[in-house]
Structure 1
Amino acid sequence: MTEKVNDAYPQQSAKLAFRDSVLALGETRIIDAIIMAVFIVRLPAPGLGLPINDLAGLALIGIAAFRRPTRSLAGAYWYPAICAVILAYLALNALAAGVEQSDIDRGGRIFIMMVMGAFIATGRIDIASALKGFALALLVNVPLFYAGVAPDNYGGLLTGYLGDKNVAGLTYAVVTVLILLLANRAWVRGTIVLVGGACVVLTDSRTSMAALAGALIWLVVAKYLGPFWRICLAALIYAGFIFAETNLSTAGDYATTREGSDALRERIDAASLEKTIAAPWNGYGLGEAVTQVAGDNWLYHNAYWGLITEGGYFLLIAFLSLIGLAGFQFLAKGPTSRDARIIEAASIVVLLCAFRLGEVFITQSAFIVIGIGVAIAARRNQAWEQERAAERVAEAVRLGSLMPVAKHTSF
């Protein structure tokens, strides 16, 4: 991986070009790749009632729990601290209102996502291997879908084993950005963007298309800008995202083919916003980000509103803190890197999609981004501390405050 995100597997030099490609097996931890590939299968497991991808997540952290970490969280201890605060807050909320099955199910899922993020950050789950498996599964999903093997739930729009076109769009967009961590050659990176972008377009998820475009703009432009202009760029990307979302809904065939579904979405949004505004300071509890329209229950189409409804503004701020600290490296010291910029771009996909999709922050895709971001932030902080320590020693030697230790001589 570029700049050794995975410190356990340093990049070897003088290898053929194929060794730099995404599909090179080389040092891949096969079991991580295989299990992560199953993350795309969102079908229910027969007789268990749980999605197969959630069971795969449980299997992966179960295996990783018996491994030794290859990286320290020193410099990023805010991650377990924030996670502990979130879990404690949700537990107290549930106890105050009366524990229900939704609290257990959804709270358990949040806990599993957080553990997965921690295992990615500490190297118990190999980042490079996991991303290779995830990306390869998404790639294979495409021909299986068009061959009629994978499920088709949206009238020919690319979904496959991901089940939902918006979930598919989010997943393809996030992984398209993340897999750039493994690409060291320009032609490989260009191929990834072209193939990944095409897959996002095939899902027909307008939100994901606009989010991926914004992320790629950030990746190309932000490295040349200082803090103030990066804020301006973020504002422009958000404005462009909203413009694309609004105008794509009335462009070309969308004006007729999506008119009914867009009208329903507007009614769902109106009812969701009304419930969000009426929520108490600590929310209604986990599993309450649903609203009733036309006699049916519908999940929110806004992940920000969902967190407010379930846990109030405190829960929203806590999750945004994870994204800010891991994804945007807000507390990381020392110079930035290409890896850090890629994680920023992936976080932009998550944040933008969350405006129009209901379940984004508590997903495997989001916590893969967070886990990798924590790993990069910890590495940057540790490198900075080592450099400062070396500078202090060098300065002390220069000033003569550190003297060679004389050998003891007996008389």
Structure 2
Amino acid sequence: MTEKVNDAYPQKSATRALRESALALGETRIIDAIIMAIFIVRLPAPGLGLPINDLAGLALIGIAAFRRPTRSLAGAYWYPAICAVILAYLALNALAAGVEQSDIDRGGRIFIMMVMGAFIATGRIDIASALKGFALALLVNVPLFYAGVAPDNYGGLLTGYLGDKNVAGLTYAVVTVLILLLANRAWVRGTIVLVGGACVVLTDSRTSMAALAGALIWLVVAKYLGPFWRICLAALIYAGFIFAETNLSTAGDYATTREGSDALRERIDAASLEKTIAAPWNGYGLGEAVTQIAGDNWLYHNAYWGLITEGGYFLLIAFLSLIGLAGFQFLAKGPTSRDARIIEAASIVVLLCAFRLGEVFITQTAFIIIGIGIAIAAQRNQAWAKDREAERVAEALRLGSLMPVAKHTSF
């Protein structure tokens, strides 16, 4: 973070601003940076059957558990409350339907991500260090991919250790936005956007390209708008996203090179929607956001439908509440800041990509956004409380100076 809560404050040097940032306390934690860098490796760990990035997340919270928090969750106790309700709801669903391995695996993964979000929010995991490691790993992934070292699963489209081009597009888009938290100078921010945007284009994920464009528009324009016009801007960004998604699929080479895959996606979407509509009020259970096409199982291509299928509308509303309260700071007090808008923009990437990607909300990327969002909201709340206290003190002093001085009478 590099900006004061009120945008009217003058900017300081990049070094001083970073040191004073509430989200970059202390020196860079190498261990946080290294482990977060491993988050991009979505390959299965030999002999364990778990993705390496999930094991890295478990290791990170295991280490962070022995650290003292540097920030309080005061003002954000809704986070552990919502998380507890989600976990209890999923557990009751599993018990009612019969516990399966998918309930244990996916439920455990959700729990680990929730803890990671809390540790980021309270400073047990250093945000600046984590983002540096994550961004550096994504940057290194590019030359390793084109050198033939990192895996190539999509015929030359940038994936590398991320494994899937849509996952790669989502990750590059979100981190491109988040790393702006650590950039103070305009030319640095511009370079980050250009490099990150180029990486998203190399993944050929149309969804991620459109989502990143929408997020950047929000980042530039939203600061000039009040609440009503921000809602209008959000609606325009969504409409533009849908327009781009629809028209990019028939533009240029896409009309021929992606015709077969787009036809398959349409069949998957139709079957997914049918299953979603038929789901009971509490869903079918964790791991059920899959559908069959010609005898093969396919994951949903819509994360909203996926949550409804797995846990009903209750689960969807619960996860959207986490994104709304943390990403858009609905309960935060005081004036907004550039940092808050960056988190809003990152949340927009997630919300837009969720319309065309199957696994977006229950990901490490989403909970990194949630954790940082809570931390920024806490900073805003603390600044607001200090301002209110200063105003009360000033008012008390003013009233004290106006009180008449009692005259002493001698007898």
Superimposed CA distance per residue, residues 70-104 of structure 1 (whole angstroms, 9 cap, x where no aligned partner): 01111111111111111111111111111111111
Superimposed CA distance per residue, residues 218-270 of structure 1 (whole angstroms, 9 cap, x where no aligned partner): 00001001111111110000000000000000111111111010000000000
Q: State the alpha-carbon separation in 2 of the partners of residues 124 and 22 from structure 1.
A: 13
Distance change (3 Å), C-alpha of 1:6 and 1:108: farther
Aligned counterpart, 2:54: 54
SS in 1 for 2:391: helix
Contact 1:396/1:402, CA 8 A, preserved across alignment: no
SS in 1 for 2:297: strand
Distance change (3 Å), C-alpha of 1:410 and 1:297: farther
The worse-fitting range, judged by mean Cα deviation, of 22-31 and 369-378 is: 22-31
SS in 2 for 1:3: coil
Structure 1 residue 395: deviation in Å? 2.1
Aligned counterpart, 1:27: 27
Contact 1:158/1:168, CA 8 A, preserved across alignment: yes
Contact 1:8/1:70, CA 8 A, preserved across alignment: no
Structure 1 residue 396: deviation in Å? 2.9
Contact 2:5/2:383, CA 8 A, preserved across alignment: no
Contact 1:271/1:291, CA 8 A, preserved across alignment: yes
Contact 1:6/1:127, CA 8 A, preserved across alignment: no
Q: State the alpha-carbon separation in 1 of the partners of residues 147 and 410 from structure 2.
A: 87
Query: Which residues in structure 2 correspond to 1:233-382 (within 5 Å)?
Result: 233-382=233-382
Contact 1:22/1:132, CA 8 A, preserved across alignment: no
The worse-fitting range, judged by mean Cα deviation, of 388-397 and 245-254 is: 388-397
Distance change (3 Å), C-alpha of 1:377 and 1:191: same
Gaps of 5+ in 1: none
Q: State the alpha-carbon separation in 1 of the partners of residues 242 and 113 from structure 2.
A: 29
Superimposed CA distance per residue, residues 100-123 of structure 1 (whole angstroms, 9 cap, x where no aligned partner): 111111000000010000000000
Distance change (3 Å), C-alpha of 1:104 and 1:143: same
Structure 1 residue 4: deviation in Å? 7.5
Contact 2:14/2:183, CA 8 A, preserved across alignment: no
The worse-fitting range, judged by mean Cα deviation, of 112-121 and 22-31 is: 22-31
Aligned counterpart, 2:111: 111
Distance change (3 Å), C-alpha of 1:409 and 1:51: farther
SS in 1 for 2:210: helix
Contact 1:23/1:132, CA 8 A, preserved across alignment: no
Contact 2:18/2:182, CA 8 A, preserved across alignment: no
Contact 2:14/2:184, CA 8 A, preserved across alignment: no
Superimposed CA distance per residue, residues 312-353 of structure 1 (whole angstroms, 9 cap, x where no aligned partner): 001100100111110011111000000000000000000000
Structure 1 residue 8: deviation in Å? 24
Q: State the alpha-carbon separation in 1 of the partners of residues 128 and 48 from structure 2.
A: 31
Q: State the alpha-carbon separation in 2 of the partners of residues 189 and 48 from structure 1.
A: 40
Q: State the alpha-carbon separation in 1 of the partners of residues 95 and 408 from structure 2.
A: 66
Structure 1 residue 397: deviation in Å? 3.5
Contact 1:145/1:158, CA 8 A, preserved across alignment: yes
Gaps of 5+ in 2: none
Contact 1:215/1:345, CA 8 A, preserved across alignment: yes
Contact 1:339/1:376, CA 8 A, preserved across alignment: yes
Q: TM-score, normalised by structure 1?
A: 0.93
Structure 1 residue 408: deviation in Å? 20
Distance change (3 Å), C-alpha of 1:116 and 1:319: same
Superimposed CA distance per residue, residues 127-171 of structure 1 (whole angstroms, 9 cap, x where no aligned partner): 000000000000000000000000000000000000000000000
SS in 2 for 1:15: helix
Distance change (3 Å), C-alpha of 1:263 and 1:76: same
Distance change (3 Å), C-alpha of 1:11 and 1:263: same
- Dislocated runs of 4+, deviation >3 Å: 3-26, 400-411
SS in 2 for 1:309: helix
Identity %: 96
Q: State the alpha-carbon separation in 1 of the partners of residues 298 and 32 from structure 2.
A: 35
The RMSD of aligned alpha carbons is 4.0
Structure 1 residue 409: deviation in Å? 22
Contact 1:303/1:355, CA 8 A, preserved across alignment: yes
Contact 2:159/2:168, CA 8 A, preserved across alignment: yes
